[in-house]
Amino acid sequence: MKPLTEQVHDLLSNTALLGETVIDATAGNGHDTLFLAQCVGPRGKVFAIDIQQQAIDQTNLRLTEAGYNHATCIKGSHAEMVRLLPDNLIGKVAAITFNLGYLPGGNKAITTQIETTLLALEVSVQLLKPGGILTILAYTGHPGGKEEANSIFEFANRLPASNFMFQEHSPTPLVINSPRFFVIQRK
C-alpha cells in the first residue's frame, strides 16, 4: 500500500491544478508545501503556515532550492488563518492540507492541539471553493493525538451534507496508534 503522505498528495493533485490557490496549514519541513507549489505552478499561489520558525526556515529553504517563489510562508497559528491570509480567499481555495502532530526532527513537545486545529478547520471549510478538498492526516501515537483525531471526525461528521462530502481513508484495520486520514470536499 502507498504511504499515507503519497495518498494525500494523490488526492491533493486532483484539485491543486495549475494556477490554483492552495494552503498548507502545517508547513513543517516543507514537503507538502513543495508538492503543492509543483502542482499549482508559478501562476498559482501557495500559502504555508507554521507556528515554528524552524519549520518556516526549512520550508523556505526547500522552496528556494527548488527555484520556487510563488509560495508564501507565514509564521503563526493556523487558528488565526483569517488574520494571517489575504482577506479575499473565502470560497476560492482549491486544496488545503493539514499534516498534524509534531515537526519531524524538531521539538516533539510542540504539537498541534485540538482547540486550534478545530478553529482552523472551521475557517478552512469556508475557504474551499466548490469542488475543493481539505485533507487532514492525524497521528494518534503522541499525547492528545487520539483525542484530536476523534474531534476532527466529529467535526467533519457535523458538516452539512448538502455542502460537504466527508470520507475517512485511514488504513484498515485501525490498530492502536494508527494514523487517521480524513478528506472533506466542498460540493
177: left (phi over 0), alpha (psi -120 to 50) or beta: left
Helices (H), 16-136: 31-40, 53-66, 81-84, 114-127
DSSP 129-181: EEEEEEEEEE--SSTTHHHHHHHHHHHHHHS-TTTEEEEE---SS--TT--EE
Minimum CB separation from ligand SAM for residue 57, in Å? 11
d(CA 94, CA 16): 6
Give the range of 12-20, 26-34, 65-73, 82-90 binding ligand SAM by CB under 6 A: 26-34
Q: Which is nearer to ligand SAM, 111 or 126 (CB)?
A: 111
Considering the rule CB under 6 A, would residue 46 count as an interface residue with ligand SAM? no
Q: Which of 15, 21, 29, 178 binds ligand SAM (CB under 6 A)?
A: 29
d(CA 131, CA 145): 29
Q: Which is nearer to ligand SAM, 102 or 164 (CB)?
A: 102
Q: Which is nearer to ligand SAM, 120 or 128 (CB)?
A: 120
> Which of 100, 91, 89 is CA-nearest to residue 8?
100
d(CA 64, CA 187): 35
> Which of 137, 158, 111, 177 is CA-nearest to residue 12?
137
Considering the rule CB under 6 A, would residue 16 count as an interface residue with ligand SAM? no
**Which residue type occupies 137?**
L
Name which of residues 84 to 143 contact ligand SAM (CB under 6 A). Answer: 99, 101-103, 110, 112, 116
Q: Which is nearer to ligand SAM, 28 or 44 (CB)?
A: 28
The mark string for 65-94 relative to ligand SAM (x by CB under 6 A, - otherwise) is: ------------xxx---------------
Considering the rule CB under 6 A, would residue 151 count as an interface residue with ligand SAM? no
Q: Which of 28, 44, 132, 145 binds ligand SAM (CB under 6 A)?
A: 28
- Positions touching ligand SAM (CB under 6 A) are 26, 28-32, 49-52, 55, 77-79, 99, 101-103, 110, 112, 116
